[in-house]
Amino acid sequence: MTCKKMVILGAGFAGLQVARRIKGTDCEITLIDQYNFHQFQPLFYQVATARLEPSAISFPLRKVFQRKKNVHVRIAKVTQVDTAKQQVITDEGIFDYDYLVIATGCTSNYFGNKNIEQYAYPMKSTTDAITIRNRILLNFEDALRATPEQLESIMNIVVVGGGPTGVEMAGAIAEMKKYVLPRDYPDMDFSSLNIYLLEGGDSTLAAMSKASQQKSQEYLEQMGVKVWTNALAADYDGKQITLKDGRIVPTRTMIWAAGVMGNVPAGIPKELIVRGNRIKVDHYSRIESIPNVFVIGDVSYMENDDFPKGHAQLANVAINQAKNLADNIKRLMKDQPMKEFKYRNPGTMATVGKRKAVVDLPFMSFQGFFAWLTWMFLHLMLILSVRNKLTIFINWAISYFTNDTTLRLILLPTRKQVELGQEHHSLQDKPLT
Tell me what pLDDT residue 432 has.
40
Q: Is the pLDDT of residue 4 over 70?
A: yes
Compare 425 and 357 and report the one with higher pLDDT.
Answer: 357
Tell me what pLDDT residue 402 has.
87
| Cross-strand partners of 351 | 357
Considering the domain 114-258 in this protein, what is its CATH number? 3.50.50.100
pLDDT tens per residue, range 394-415: 888 888 888 888 788 888 888 8
Report the alpha-carbon distance of residue 190 to residue 156 in Å, rounded.
11
CA torsion angle 43 45 48 53 (round to 10): -20
pLDDT tens per residue, range 35-47: 999 999 999 999 9
Mean pLDDT of the chain: 92
Active site positions, annotated: 168
CA torsion angle 381 382 388 392 (round to 10): -70
119 Cβ neighbours under 8 A, 6+ residues apart: 236, 237, 238, 254
Check for a shared fold between 5-34+76-108+261-333 and 114-258.
yes
Question: What mean pLDDT do residues 359-387 have?
Answer: 91
Question: What mean pLDDT do residues 334-356 have?
Answer: 92
Nearest Cα to 43, choosing from 320, 399, 369?
A: 399
Q: Which long-range contacts (CB under 8 A, 24 or more apart) does 112-115 make?
A: 113/233, 113/234, 113/235, 113/236, 115/235, 115/236, 115/237
Question: What mean pLDDT do residues 320-339 have?
Answer: 92
Q: Kindly report the pTM of this predicted structure.
A: 0.92
Question: What mean pLDDT do residues 57-76 have?
Answer: 92
Question: What mean pLDDT do residues 376-400 have?
Answer: 88
Please report, for the chain, the start and end positions of each structural domain, with discontinuous segments joined by +. 5-34+76-108+261-333, 114-258
- Label residue 1 by pLDDT band (50, 70, 90): low
The CATH superfamily label for domain 5-34+76-108+261-333 reads FAD/NAD(P)-binding domain (3.50.50.60)
Are 79 and 91 within 8 A, CB to CB?
A: yes
Question: What mean pLDDT do residues 114-121 have?
Answer: 96
Tell me what pLDDT residue 409 has.
87
- Label residue 6 by pLDDT band (50, 70, 90): very high
Q: Is the pLDDT of residue 285 over 50?
A: yes
Q: Is the pLDDT of residue 385 over 90?
A: no
pLDDT tens per residue, range 124-168: 999 999 999 999 999 999 999 999 889 999 999 999 999 999 999
Tell me what pLDDT residue 2 has.
62
Are 280 and 272 within 8 A, CB to CB?
A: yes
Tell me what pLDDT residue 429 has.
54
- Label residue 431 by pLDDT band (50, 70, 90): very low
Tell me what pLDDT residue 405 has.
80
Q: Is the pLDDT of residue 212 over 50?
A: yes
Compare 97 and 426 and report the one with higher pLDDT.
Answer: 97
Q: Is the pLDDT of residue 24 over 80?
A: no
pLDDT tens per residue, range 358-371: 999 988 999 999 99
Question: What mean pLDDT do residues 22-26 have?
Answer: 78
Question: What mean pLDDT do residues 178-201 have?
Answer: 94
Question: Please, is 430 exposed, middle or buried when counting C-beta atoms within 10 Å of its C-beta (0-12, 13-18, 19+)?
Answer: exposed
The conformation of residue 179, written as its DSSP 8-state character, comes to I
